[in-house]
Structure 1
Amino acid sequence: MLKTGLAVAIALYTASLLGFPSGIFAGIAALFAIQPSIYQSFQTIIEQLQANIIGVTIATLVVYTLGNDPFVIGFTVVVVIGVCRYLKMGDSTVSIALIAVIAVMEATEMEVYQFALMRFGSLMLGIFAAFLVNLLFLPPKYESNLFLQIDRITSDILQWLRITTRHLSDDPSLKGEIARIQQDVRRMDQTYLLFSEERTYLKKNRLSKARKLIVFRQLIATTRKSFDVLKAFHHLDERIKSIPPNFQTALVQELDKVIHSHERLLLSFMGRIKQKNDETLHAISEPDIPHLVETLIEMYQDNENDDRLIFLPLASQLMEYHHHLTHLQTLLHSYQKFHQNEKLEFLNERN
């Protein structure tokens, strides 16, 4: 948001200093050229340059041959979109090409080629302004944002798991929360992608970054799996009430242990739990999910109907959740062993 405003302001101010008659096109180009990360800026600047050239060239040729009637401009827009799609350009890049078409095909008394060059310069000014802002100003802190997203989403999921396993959840409310969490998970995946694209130039930092990426990927995978368990419980909410009370109690107790384990792992990664003799992660109360799943299946083996099959997806999700937590525990133990003294960026944000 701040980067976009800064890029537009720089483009407009520079266009005014250079005496461009319609500096507004520089601002519009900067608006569409801004990217969420430095890496994506490097990736797209050449493509944006190509799109600008395509738009200006086609528009200039059309003005020379067919004029700049509104229907001709519309036809030119269709042609440019087709060319850009053929070259597999992104949506923001196609927008740059279309801005070039409209900018060049505006009615003017100047020579067409001079007018086209002036518009080309204005658009390139906006593109480079956006590139420089991405490169030099307001570097994004995707590591901090990513962990805060993971922490918040996981907390929401685990809270709803506690409520659902005790049959306290309101179905419409939970359904709405599941839809919201699904959108949050997609945004979390996008933030992870942006964090993974950030370039690290020192060899020492590259190794640390690689380890962090592995840990973050497993944190996300574990959060996703807890979400799958929540959806499975929501789907079977009424049927779970038919399970014998003693097993319902065991199910709630074991799931509470799993939730507690997940929370402790997050706190350990944040450095909120003191490490004493390397026991930070191993002191967690271990849930016995494999035994719970085995008991759930055995309970329905003597049942002549197929009702027991309904609970197999839940059993599968619980086992996978258990495996993800075990793997996450191993990764965090390894990370803490090799990077004990490293200050994590999301802790700096909170302090």
Structure 2
Amino acid sequence: MKLGARMLKTGFAITVALYIAQMFGLAAATYAGIAAAFAVQPNIHRSFQTMLEQIYANLFGVSFGALVVFGFGNDPIVIGLTIIIVIGLCMYFHLTENTITLAILAVLAVMETTEMMLITFAGFRFSALLIGILSASLINMLFLPPKYELRLFKSIDRVTSDILQWLRISTRHLSDDPALRTEIDRIQAEVRIIDNTYLLFSEERIYRKKLRLPKMRKLIIFRQMINTSKRSLATLEAFHQYDDKVENIPKEFQNVLVDELDKIIYSHERLLLSAMGKIKKDPTRSIEDITDPDISHLVQTLIDVYEKDDKDRLALLPLAARLMEYHKETLHLQRILNSYQKFHDDLDFNFKKKRKNRRIIPTLF
């Protein structure tokens, strides 16, 4: 089992919250640990946002629970009705599930049977929950900050390599159908994870004005890299769907189809390598010229083939359309990458770790 940063931060936050609660002599130290567990978030922005939400929910839960206890007591039926009202109000204000859970915890904490004065008891419970929230937020910001940019590029590069490998195999009719279907399902799941990672990376705030513009441009490039990979995956799915028909058409079209797809794949690979700074840059151009696929020639060849035979006329035009869409996304990626390298030539995506008096070794992807 691999221990992730969020798992470590959760355990560390709970430990810190319990120590602080015990240091202040709070009898409800456990509540501080529980609150800390719910407050850890995947990035700093969400951590700060959640901290504010949970402080409000904690204050509301404690105050509302104290009023109910003062007016109606703490009978289990009263507690249950109070929690229903609290959940409804939290949902009305569109609070997150963890925040709602913490609000419920605050109600239960303050409505617990005790011989202590209600105001004092509520204050101790509120303090314990607040310590947990603040401890988790502080740990989340300072301890093992997430590196979503590195994770995102690695994921895109790995998934794209898998897709392009299977495309080469499929066009030559070497793929096993069940194995390819399994791989497509796996890649689709990884693409969904990439979308979520991109969302987390886009939520990260840049407070230095100098780095804000490069970050925005990187977001655009990452978004286009993801879109291009999705188009390549759609092309792979199309080849999987039309594999039998492609195999039975004349060799003339098969050869043109493989040649044009290989050009697009080559272009896609060159762009990723250029983004990593692994291709030499010409002084007058940021990216070397790439082979330009002739999709119109592919479509014309397909039409010529089917003019000789009316059987399943133009059944493979959807496949040609997928190739056209894939090529279009590749060209768009080339344009925005050219623009980025023009203005930020020293900020590529190779993530090199510069160390003094040591040789710079590029990260392998």
Query: What TM-score, normalized by structure 1, do the two folds share?
Result: 0.92
Match of 1:350 in 2: 363
- The 1-side partners of 2:264 and 2:296 are apart by 12
Residue 350 and residue 27 in structure 1: after superposition, are their counterparts in 2 closer, same or farther (change >3 A)? farther
Matched, 1:337 2:350: no
Match of 2:264 in 1: 258
Contact map agreement 1:268 1:281 (CA 8 A) in 2: yes
Match of 1:208 in 2: 214
Matches within 5 A, 1:192-341: 192-278=198-284, 281-301=287-307, 303-304=309-310, 307-341=312-346
Higher alpha-carbon deviation: 279-288 or 220-229: 279-288
How far off is 1:324 after superposition? 0.8
Matched, 1:168 2:174: yes
Contact map agreement 1:148 1:346 (CA 8 A) in 2: no
- The 1-side partners of 2:289 and 2:327 are apart by 16
Q: CA RMSD in A?
A: 2.2
Which of 123, 129, 133 is 2:135 aligned to? 129
Matches within 5 A, 1:44-63: 44-63=50-69
Contact map agreement 1:12 1:27 (CA 8 A) in 2: yes
Higher alpha-carbon deviation: 17-26 or 134-143: 134-143
Secondary structure class of the residue paired with 1:346 = coil
- 5+ unaligned residues in a row in structure 1: which ranges? none
Can you list the C-alpha shifts for 1:1-59, whole angstroms capped at 9, x where unaligned?
23222222211111111111121111111111112222222323222122112222332
Can you list the C-alpha shifts for 1:148-180, whole angstroms capped at 9, x where unaligned?
111111111111111222222222222222222
- The 2-side partners of 1:301 and 1:107 are apart by 86
- The 1-side partners of 2:268 and 2:274 are apart by 10
Contact map agreement 1:143 1:345 (CA 8 A) in 2: no
Residue 152 and residue 43 in structure 1: after superposition, are their counterparts in 2 closer, same or farther (change >3 A)? same
Which of 8, 11, 26 is 2:14 aligned to? 8
Q: Whose relative contact order is higher, 1 or 2, with alpha carbons under 8 Å and at least 6 apart?
A: 1
- The 2-side partners of 1:69 and 1:234 are apart by 63
Contact map agreement 1:157 1:226 (CA 8 A) in 2: yes
- The 1-side partners of 2:242 and 2:114 are apart by 68
How far off is 1:320 after superposition? 0.8
- The 2-side partners of 1:74 and 1:165 are apart by 62
How far off is 1:243 after superposition? 1.6
How far off is 1:279 after superposition? 5.3
Q: How many residues align?
A: 350
Can you list the C-alpha shifts for 1:59-107, whole angstroms capped at 9, x where unaligned?
2233334443444433333222111111111112112112212222333
Secondary structure class of the residue paired with 1:281 = coil
Residue 344 and residue 241 in structure 1: after superposition, are their counterparts in 2 closer, same or farther (change >3 A)? closer
- The 1-side partners of 2:110 and 2:149 are apart by 42
Query: What TM-score, normalized by structure 2, do the two folds share?
Result: 0.88
- The 2-side partners of 1:266 and 1:350 are apart by 14
